[in-house]
Amino acid sequence: MGGHIHCDNLDPLGHLVAVRVSHPGKFNAMSRSMWRDLKAVFDVLATQPGLRCVLVSGEGGHFCAGGDISEYPDFRFDSERLAHFHENEVWGGLDAIRRCPVPVVVAIEGNCMGAGLEMASCGDIRVAGVSARFGAPIARLGFPMAPREAQLVAQAVGWATAREMLLEAALLPADEMKARGFLNRVVDDAAVMSTAMGSAQRIVALAPLAARVNKHTLRAMAAAPADLAELIEGAYDYADQAEHREGIGAFLDKRQPVF
Amino acid sequence: MGGHIHCDNLDPLGHLVAVRVSHPGKFNAMSRSMWRDLKAVFDVLATQPGLRCVLVSGEGGHFCAGGDISEYPDFRFDSERLAHFHENEVWGGLDAIRRCPVPVVVAIEGNCMGAGLEMASCGDIRVAGVSARFGAPIARLGFPMAPREAQLVAQAVGWATAREMLLEAALLPADEMKARGFLNRVVDDAAVMSTAMGSAQRIVALAPLAARVNKHTLRAMAAAPADLAELIEGAYDYADQAEHREGIGAFLDKRQPVF
Amino acid sequence: MGGHIHCDNLDPLGHLVAVRVSHPGKFNAMSRSMWRDLKAVFDVLATQPGLRCVLVSGEGGHFCAGGDISEYPDFRFDSERLAHFHENEVWGGLDAIRRCPVPVVVAIEGNCMGAGLEMASCGDIRVAGVSARFGAPIARLGFPMAPREAQLVAQAVGWATAREMLLEAALLPADEMKARGFLNRVVDDAAVMSTAMGSAQRIVALAPLAARVNKHTLRAMAAAPADLAELIEGAYDYADQAEHREGIGAFLDKRQPVF
């Protein structure tokens, strides 16, 4: 029951929202109620037409150290309840982030393990501090990763890194996760939040409908790369949109576009 | 109407052809006529049985800075004409490079943006100078990337980099694009053309039918990785080819093969 | 007929087995009989319920330099016999490693070319010495890579690296293969075996059924990423397993789990 998902509007126009994972004393470990809250928060954000970017972070110097293991004896040893937990509660929260129609910037400090790695894998831009550590050492806890979660993580960290994390319980530092393509930027620990905020603000200033179309296209193609016909249907409906005219007009006028 | 795609035969046997993107004063920005010319050039190259390698580059110290935006007001704000532009003109040119039956080496100097990034993504071997810059900052222009083009770029630069380029309009330097797996080699700016030419000449000296089969196999599998049956049908027809006998014979005779 | 695949049990409980590729004087080049032996060895290992990890290496300071070319004139110039060689003998051996139900750690010293690169691509964790060299320069031998083998290698080394190796016959050093995501660790040449053994011993100490489920999940998803339904069926049958209870119980008791 412990822990919360905080959601704060960061600007008067509703363009930028901060989502913060909070479970004091547990490195923001995800409890079952937090997974449900996570889904509820992102389900609401998905309905807000003015939203342009979501910034996700953890409180108190850590992103998220995993699941809240103190709850596990209550439900994990029964396969039906276990399936419900992973397929509905965990995947409900993760998929809500993935389905977010606007760019998601993830700011990662300290521990980013298990559930934390999975939440970070759902984002679009990932910024971490040099001291951040990554892994999914659940082989120490005696259980495998659920299929959907393993696919999500493997696509984000790469298959070789997923194997190392799951089969050897390896923990990897931020510079290694940058080299392996998971992180977009690694900065001093003190600069993580300001760097991620800078990324979010750049996104807010860019064309918002284009961002929503790009998110949809990239997500659909990552899931089923061979099926383009459905995507192409309607792909050019934006032709007469104001932001399209403004972007090209501003370029030709040699001025900054205002979206 | 401005700009040209130059095509020059670099050796008397027709093994090596240089394709140069040229639009003086516009960093080789691709006009509509250049996209059509690009398709025409590669369609002819596809019919030449003696061809072994194509070297693609840009003139005047840049690869290509994107599309020719001065043409955009004429057609982009009508969805039918926009769809025709992307699905026929742009994709026609890009797919012609992709379908090239022999290895394509891309030499990248200076700006490699938007249309330039897309053309480079169609190549097999990518060599860039340390000062080259990469991106697809069309979110500044108020429009998203077309689905086929997004898939092409994301497969070449990786999904995380595609998200960074499209959602944040990020520009990345050559060493970063090497670290992210897009570039095979980064060299001094003055050495880009000679390094790419060296790569092309090594390819010309290798077994030419094997190269064509490898290109076909890799392209087919990148598009639909699970469907191998069709590829295996006929995959071993090369058994009795002269180059197969020459390669193995030369190895056993401890001499250089001549293909 | 030359060469052998050695298989040694490294501990009294049968948890760890070492498989060594051996062809003295030929840098462990794979002969046809070695491919058949490789399949036989891994087919037996697949039936051993106590097995937790397999460590694969080459003898005499090299992993494997490729196929045994001295045998090639006997069968390669007939397409039916060539297809049998690749589809049955080579793929039989490689697929037996891929189907191994427990983690496979690969220790790579010296040459890792062609058949060696393919065998290494079948492993889960790859450790190499700084002097190791990688490639598949069969374009020098006048033939392309077989489709299944090209898919296997391209998925492990990445498409750009596969193109460079196959189309340009490029040879790449260990640090480059680390940067490109193929190798998990690069160490001093003298430390390759001890580092790989350390990885294997860590795996042996982790939850063994979880490792088998993770291997199955990752392999199935790499082959057909969009088809999750079959994987989810039965994915939670482990709920009441002893190792699941032990892992979570040990964590909550603040003690080391014993699997």
B98 pLDDT tier (thresholds 50, 70, 90): very high
Tell me the shortest Cα–Cα distance from A245 to chain C, in angstroms.
Answer: 37
pLDDT number for residue B159: 93
Say which CATH number the domain at A16 has.
Answer: 3.90.226.10
Neighbors of chain B with 3 or more C-beta pairs under 8 Å:
A, C
Q: Is C131 on the interface with A (CB under 8 A)?
A: no
Verify whether the Cβ–Cβ distance C79 to B236 is below 8 Å.
yes
pLDDT at res. A154:
94
Look at residue C227 and tell me whether its pLDDT is greater than 70. no
Residues C233 and C176 in one domain: no
Q: How far is B142 from chain C (nearest CA, A)?
A: 31
Closest of B113, B144, B146 to residue B128, by C-alpha: B113
Q: In the predicted model, is pLDDT for residue C220 greater than 90?
A: no
Which of A125, A235, A246 is closest, CB to CB, to B147? A235
Prediction ipTM score: 0.93
Residue C13 sits at the chain A interface (C-beta within 8 Å):
no
Is residue B257, in this structure, part of any structural domain at all?
Answer: no
Question: For residue A233, is it within any domain?
Answer: yes
Average pLDDT over residues B240-258: 84
User: Same structural domain for residues A102 and A155?
Assistant: yes
Sheet hosting strand B185-187, strand order edge to edge:
B4-9, B16-22, B53-58, B104-108, B125-129, B185-187
Q: How far is CA B208 from the centre of its chain?
A: 19
Q: Based on the domain organization, do B120 and B222 belong to the same domain?
A: no
Identify the weakest region by mean pLDDT among A23-27, A181-185, A224-228, B45-49: A224-228
Write down the pLDDT at residue B165: 98
Q: Mutating which of A52, A153, A199, A236 best tests the B interface, going by the most B Cβ atoms within 10 A? A: A236
- pLDDT for residue C246: 87
To the nearest whole Å, the CA of B245 is away from the closest chain C CA by: 7
What is the percent of chain A where pLDDT is above 90?
79
Residue of A nearest to B84 (CA): A236
Q: Quick one: pLDDT at residue C225? A: 55
* Nearest-by-CA chain B residue for C175: B179
What is the model's pLDDT at position A183?
98
Q: How far is CA C114 from CA B259, C64, C149, C195, in A?
A: 20, 8, 10, 24
Nearest to A159 by CA among B147, C191, C203, C154: C154
The enclosing H or E element of C13 equals: none
Closest Cβ opposite residue B147 in set A207, A228, A247: A228
A213 and A87 inside one domain: no
Do B179 and B56 fall into the same domain? yes
Chain-chain contact of C210 with A142 (C-beta, under 8 angstroms): yes
C238 shares its domain with C172: no
Average pLDDT (C191-195) is: 98
Q: Does A229 touch chain B (CB under 8 A)?
A: no
Residues sharing a CB contact under 8 Å with residue B41, sequence separation 6 or more, in sequence order: B5, B7, B19, B96
- Kindly identify which residue of chain C lies nearest to residue A180, measuring between CA atoms: C181
Q: Measured between beta carbons, which residues in chain A are less than 8 angstroms from residue B155?
A: 225
Within-domain flag for A258: no
**Measured between CB atoms, does C210 come within 8 Å of chain B?**
no
Residue B210 and residue C144: Cβ atoms within 8 Å? yes
Residue C167 clears pLDDT 60, i.e. is over it: yes
Rounded to the nearest angstrom, the minimum Cα separation between B15 and chain C is 15
pLDDT of res. A114? 97
* CB nearest C125 (choices: A83, A139, A168): A168
A55-71 pLDDT per residue, tens: 999 999 999 999 999 99
**Chain B 149-208, residues with CB within 8 Å of chain A CB atoms:** 150-151, 154-155, 158-164, 166-170, 179-181
Q: Quote the domain boundaries for residue C197.
A: 4-204
- C192 in helix, strand or coil? helix
pLDDT tier for residue B17 given thresholds of 50, 70 and 90? very high
Q: Per 3-state DSSP, what percentage of chain A is helix, strand, and coil (rounded to 5)?
A: 50, 15, 35
C-beta of residue B158 within 8 angstroms of C-beta of residue B182: yes
pLDDT attached to residue C241: 83
- Identify whether residues C25 and C138 lie together within a single domain: yes
CB pair distance less than 8 Å for C240 and A162: no
CB contact under 8 A, C139 and B221: no
Interface membership of B73 toward A (CB under 8 Å) = yes
Q: How many distinct structural domains can be found in chain B?
A: 2
User: Looking at the predicted structure, is the pLDDT value of residue C130 above 90?
Assistant: yes
Instruction: Write out pLDDT tens, residues B214-241.
Output: 999 888 887 765 566 777 777 777 778 8
Q: For residue C238, what are its two tokens? A: 């482990």
Domain termination site, one of B167, B186, B204: B204
Give the pLDDT confidence score for residue B228 in this predicted structure: 67
**Which pLDDT band, with edges at 50, 70 and 90, does B247 fall under?**
confident
**C22 lies in the same domain as C74:** yes
Residue at C70 is within a domain: yes
CB contact under 8 A, C203 and A163: no
Average pLDDT over every residue of A149-160 = 94
Please state the rounded mean pLDDT for residues A89-108.
97
Q: Please say if the pLDDT value at position C226 is more than 60.
A: no
Question: In this complex, is the C-beta atom of C257 within 8 Å of any C-beta atom belonging to chain A?
Answer: yes
Q: How much is the pLDDT for B57?
A: 98
Asked whether residue A236 falls in the same domain as residue A127, the answer is no
In a domain, B259, yes or no: no
Beta strand B185-187 with C4-9 is unpaired
pLDDT at position C224: 62
- For residue C259, is it within any domain? no
Identify each DSSP E strand in chain A by its residue range.
4-9, 16-22, 53-58, 104-108, 111-113, 125-129, 133-135, 171-173, 185-187
The helix (run of H) or strand (run of E) holding residue A42 is helix A32-45
Tell me what the mean pLDDT of segment C107-115 comes to: 98
Averaged pLDDT, C152-173: 96
**Which of A109 and A228 is assigned the larger pLDDT?**
A109
Distance from CA of C69 to the nearest CA of A (A): 31
Answer yes or no: do A144 and A226 share one domain: no
Does A221 lie in the same domain as A161?
no
Asked if B246 and B168 sit in the same domain, the reply is no
Gap between the Cα atoms of B165 and B188, Å rounded: 24
pTM here? 0.94
Nearest CA in chain A to C124: A163
**Of residues B108 and B251, more confidently modeled:** B108
The answer to whether the CB atoms of C155 and A159 lie below 8 A apart is yes
- Tell me, what's the pLDDT at A179? 97
